[in-house]
Amino acid sequence: MDVELRPLRHEDAPAHCAGEDDATVRWLTGGHGTLAGTRAHFDRLAANAGAGRGKRGFGVWWDDRLAGYVDCDPDNRDGLRPAEPAPVNLSYCVHPWARGHRVAVAAVGLICSYVKEHAIGEVAAIRVEPANTASVRVARRCGFRHRRRYPASHPDGSPATFDLYLLDL
């Protein structure tokens, strides 16, 4: 399997938006993206990467086809206690056609390597709703350990419960 991470470009926006299905909206985004909004998001990620701070994201490419998205965010404190050091949060999605082929496992491994190589953090976090069993499997397959369950909210503001998984890098 040839999975790699690449910076997202404006011309990737149509494929990225086409890969958003109901599962992506439910578990990650809270709504379908527009081309203009997606391109603006890509610009913010690129600016953050250039500045060496904030959320940085990449396209997940499998055999030269955009198969999903992964990002790392050192500023997310969801589920942490006030005195706890913040791990680097990882978020990801895989387009429907690429699911079930361990693309997410490969992407999480690659973004963990990126976080370590660029000295962004020493611990990675995956925050996931327990009902998102595919994402729970990814966390476990990648060696993350369950830390705690905590109350949270969806992007639309409705209440949710998340599990926090951590991995020392």
Strand-pairing partners, residue 3, are 62
SS3 72: strand
Per-residue pLDDT tens over the stretch 133-142: 999 999 999 9
Residue 88 is predicted with a pLDDT of 95
Contacts of 122 (CB under 8 A, 6+ apart): 116, 168, 169
Q: What is the CATH number of the domain that holds 156?
A: 3.40.630.30
CA dist 108 and 124 (Å) reads 10
Q: What total of structural domains would you count in the chain?
A: 1
What count of residues does the chain have?
169
> Band of the pLDDT at 163, cuts 50, 70, 90?
very high
- How far apart CA 126 and CA 139 sit, in angstroms, is 7
Write out the H or E segment, with its range, that includes residue 56: strand 56-62
pLDDT digits (tens, 9 = 90+) for 41-73: 999 999 999 999 999 999 999 999 999 999 999
Q: Is the dihedral of CA 50, 109, 18, 134 positive or negative?
A: negative
Pairing of strands 56-62, 65-73: antiparallel
Q: What domain range is 124 assigned to?
A: 3-168
11-47 pLDDT tens trace: 999 988 877 877 666 666 666 778 798 899 999 999 9
Of the candidates 39, 37, 34, the residue with the CA atom closest to the CA atom of residue 20:
34
